[in-house]
């Protein structure tokens, strides 16, 4: 095929879709161009930046026809910041796109049949008793938030320097400590005072930590030279308790004037219950190092989800949107179909959050997770809530669960909640061999979900319904809960 465009051409492009990274997919003379900031249904004038064999990239110059779903992004740094990708799309439009994105993945990658696909709206459909014989998979409308802002409980901010314009005494410009987010696809830090998807306490505490660092003359880490002390600041706040934790990630042991720092933070924010230092002296873009110590206060903060209390330490994985997490976990429990007597396995259990939701309705729950500290937290969290029918083991799900099988554990339900890369093949094989009546798949990545559902389908399971839940408004991320039955059940 001859490529109809060349670099620097100006073209008028119709936008027909959005990529999983939120770029508009355009067609110019049948040739695909990816254009950041353009929305489906729009026509834009764009300049071609880069041309490959079968696709290219272009930059939007002018909006010729706007989508009715286009809105002004409320955040002033939306254009530069890599944190959000969809603020220019109405919230309703985002929820619809997320559902469609799930449908597309199920069909294209999983080769699965979706009910009401090919133009039908798909909304309001229900699987009724969940059996849904031969109808194809029901993909429900995405569960959105009533107030899709300020939803995050955790902020993790890289620290660096900016150079001010040259001035008297500083002919090459004065260095200033900044902290914020990386610009789109780069490691350039954009200083940030407010992030509209963060709990406002996180914004305030980070602002304060940065200004104390400037005052005390703390140096910012430089990724290229590996010099400078402060690398990252992480803040987490419990939405139910209001308790906050501050973690300073440092390139070295010693924090100058640490007592003053602690005093200032405590004075300004009495809700801070824990100040922690994590030392990371390696030249890497992994945020945390191996050494974590409490500088002041408690090792954990507490939060609650649907009446269950959780202790959360600096290194624990804990879902970042607590309001939607409750929606997600309730759906997972509903899809598990528990009556009080079942044996349930919770694979990839983290600090045991889903396990404890399940334990309230099941006979016995076994959780497995690869991070040993998370498993310690899970045990503590069960005790904290007086839950005694859940037990936890540290290890890889694909290693531990086959062993449980040999030991004679027979689950009625297996719940999986893997990271983005999806389930290990050996785990899927073990699920097929253990033959639980029901599987509940909680997924943060529709493409690996679709791949794994194909394996389960070929092994005698049927995907009944999928509930997308919007855990990350204004970003391209989609979370799903899936109800899966063994054929004949
Ligand atoms: N269900 C939990 C955690 C989900 S995140 C919650 O909702 O909070 C996925 C988890 O899988 C992480 O905690 C990660 O540490 C863990 N993990 C990654 N690979 C794993 C493996 N091979 N076996 C078990 N757990 C794993």
Q: Kindly give the distance from the C-alpha atom of residue 396 to the centroid of ligand 1, in angstroms, as a whole number.
A: 9
Architecture of the structural domain at 10-65: Beta Barrel (2.40)
d(CA 320, CA 145): 14
- Which residues, 6+ apart, have CB-to-CB distance to 275 below 8 Å? 245, 246, 248, 262, 265, 294, 295, 296, 297
Q: Which ligand 1 atom is the nearest neighbour of the CA of 419?
A: 9
Q: What is the pLDDT of residue 119?
A: 46
* Burial class of residue 192 in the structure, from the number of CB atoms within 10 Å of its CB (0-12 exposed, 13-18 middle, 19+ buried): buried
Q: Cα 85 vs. chain centroid, distance in angstroms?
A: 13
Q: Kindly give the distance from the C-alpha atom of residue 150 to the centroid of ligand 1, in angstroms, as a whole number.
A: 25
- Which residues, 6+ apart, have CB-to-CB distance to 450 below 8 Å? 105, 106, 108, 109, 110, 112
Paired with 143 in beta bridges are 469
Q: Kindly give the distance from the C-alpha atom of residue 274 to the centroid of ligand 1, in angstroms, as a whole number.
A: 25
Half-sphere exposure of 125 (CA within 13 A, CB side): 22
* CATH topology (fold) of 93-147+319-486: Rossmann fold (3.40.50)
Contact by Cβ (8 Å): 100, 114: no
Q: What is the pLDDT of residue 118?
A: 54
**Exposure string for 82-116, b = 16+ CB within 10 A, e = fewer:** ebbbbbbbbbebbbbbbbbbbbbbbbebbebebbb
| pLDDT averaged per 10 residues in sequence order, the chain, 489 residues | 87 95 93 96 97 96 97 92 93 98 97 78 46 78 98 97 76 84 86 94 96 93 94 98 98 94 96 98 94 96 97 92 98 98 98 97 98 93 98 98 98 98 98 98 98 98 98 98 93
Mutate which of 399, 418, 445 to test ligand 1's pocket (most atoms within 8 Å of Cβ)? 418
Closest CA to 248 of 221, 268, 215, 284: 221
Cα–Cα–Cα angle for 241, 247, 248, nearest 5°? 155
Range(s) for CATH 2.40.50.140 in the chain? 10-65
Q: What is the pLDDT of residue 134?
A: 65
Inter-helix orientation angle 258-268/200-215, to 10°: 150
Name the one residue in this structure whose structure tokens are 């929305």: 39
Cα–Cα–Cα angle for 355, 487, 364, nearest 5°? 20
Closest CA to 462 of 141, 135, 143: 135
Contact by Cβ (8 Å): 34, 21: no
d(CA 438, CA 448): 19
Name the one residue in this structure whose structure tokens are 């206060």: 297
Range(s) for CATH 3.40.50.150 in the chain? 93-147+319-486
Is residue 419 in contact with ligand 1, taking CB distance under 6 Å? yes
Is 444 annotated as catalytic? Answer: yes
Range(s) for CATH 2.40.50.1070 in the chain? 154-313
* CATH topology (fold) of 154-313: OB fold (Dihydrolipoamide Acetyltransferase, E2P) (2.40.50)
> Per the annotation, where are the binding residues for S-adenosyl-L-methionine?
319, 348, 369, 417
Q: Which ligand 1 atom is the nearest neighbour of the CA of 424?
A: 22
Cα–Cα–Cα angle for 481, 369, 322, nearest 5°? 45
> Per the annotation, where are the binding residues?
319, 348, 369, 417
Mutate which of 369, 381, 395 to test ligand 1's pocket (most atoms within 8 Å of Cβ)? 369
Global pTM value = 0.92
Closest CA to 434 of 469, 381, 470, 397: 397
Q: What is the pLDDT of residue 184?
A: 80
Closest CA to 404 of 362, 353, 461, 345: 345
Contact by Cβ (8 Å): 482, 444: no
Q: Kindly give the distance from the C-alpha atom of residue 419 to the centroid of ligand 1, in angstroms, as a whole number.
A: 6
| Cα distances (angstroms) measured from residue 253 to each of 178, 248, 281, 341 | 21, 11, 9, 51
Give me the catalytic one of 81, 195, 444, 480: 444
Q: What is the pLDDT of residue 126?
A: 47
């Amino acid at each position: 095929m001859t490529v109809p465009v060349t670099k620097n051409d100006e073209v008028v492009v119709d936008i027909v879709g959005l990529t999983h990274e939120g770029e508009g997919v355009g067609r110019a003379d049948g040739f695909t161009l990816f254009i950041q900031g353009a929305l489906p249904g729009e026509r834009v004038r764009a300049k071609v930046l880069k041309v490959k064999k079968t696709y290219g990239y272009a930059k939007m110059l002018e909006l010729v026809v706007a989508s009715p779903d286009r809105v002004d992004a409320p955040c002033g740094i939306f254009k530069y910041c890599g944190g959000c990708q969809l603020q220019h799309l109405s919230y309703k439009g985002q929820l619809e796109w997320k559902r469609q994105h799930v449908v597309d993945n199920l069909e294209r990658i999983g080769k699965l049949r979706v009910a009401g696909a090919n133009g039908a709206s798909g909304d309001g459909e229900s699987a009724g008793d969940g059996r849904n014989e031969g109808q194809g998979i029901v993909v429900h409308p995405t569960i959105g938030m009533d107030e899709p802002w300020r939803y995050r409980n955790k902020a993790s901010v890289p620290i660096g320097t900016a150079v001010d314009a040259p001035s008297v005494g500083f002919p090459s410009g004065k260095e200033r400590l900044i902290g914020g987010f990386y610009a789109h696809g780069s490691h350039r830090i954009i200083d940030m005072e407010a992030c509209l998807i963060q709990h406002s306490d996180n914004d305030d505490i980070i602002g304060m930590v940065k200004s104390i660092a400037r005052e005390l003359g703390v140096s910012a880490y430089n990724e290229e030279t590996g010099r400078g002390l402060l690398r990252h600041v992480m803040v987490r706040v419990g939405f139910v308790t209001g308790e906050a934790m501050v973690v300073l990630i440092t390139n070295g042991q010693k924090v100058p004037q640490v007592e003053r720092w602690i005093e200032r933070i405590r004075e300004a924010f009495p809700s801070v219950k824990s100040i922690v230092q994590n030392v990371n002296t390696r030249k890497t873009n992994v945020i945390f190092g191996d050494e974590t110590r409490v500088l002041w206060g408690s090792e954990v903060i507490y939060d609650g989800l649907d009446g269950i209390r959780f202790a959360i330490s600096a290194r624990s994985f804990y879902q970042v949107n607590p309001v939607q997490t409750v929606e997600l976990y309730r759906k997972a429990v509903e899809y598990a179909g528990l009556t009080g007597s079942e044996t349930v396995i919770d694979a990839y259990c983290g600090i045991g959050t889903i396990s404890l939701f399940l334990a309230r309705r099941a006979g016995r729950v076994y959780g497995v997770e690869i991070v040993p500290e998370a498993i310690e937290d899970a045990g503590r969290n069960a005790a904290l809530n007086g839950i005694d029918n859940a037990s936890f083991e540290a290890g890889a799900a694909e290693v531990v669960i086959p062993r449980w099988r040999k030991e004679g554990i027979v689950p009625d339900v297996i719940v999986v909640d893997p990271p983005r890369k999806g389930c290990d093949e050996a785990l899927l094989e073990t699920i097929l061999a253990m033959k639980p009546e029901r599987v509940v798949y909680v997924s943060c990545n529709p493409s690996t979900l679709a791949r794994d559902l194909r394996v389960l389908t070929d092994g005698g399971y049927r995907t009944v319904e999928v509930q997308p839940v919007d855990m990350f408004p204004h970003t391209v991320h989609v979370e799903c809960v899936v109800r899966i039955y063994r054929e004949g059940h």
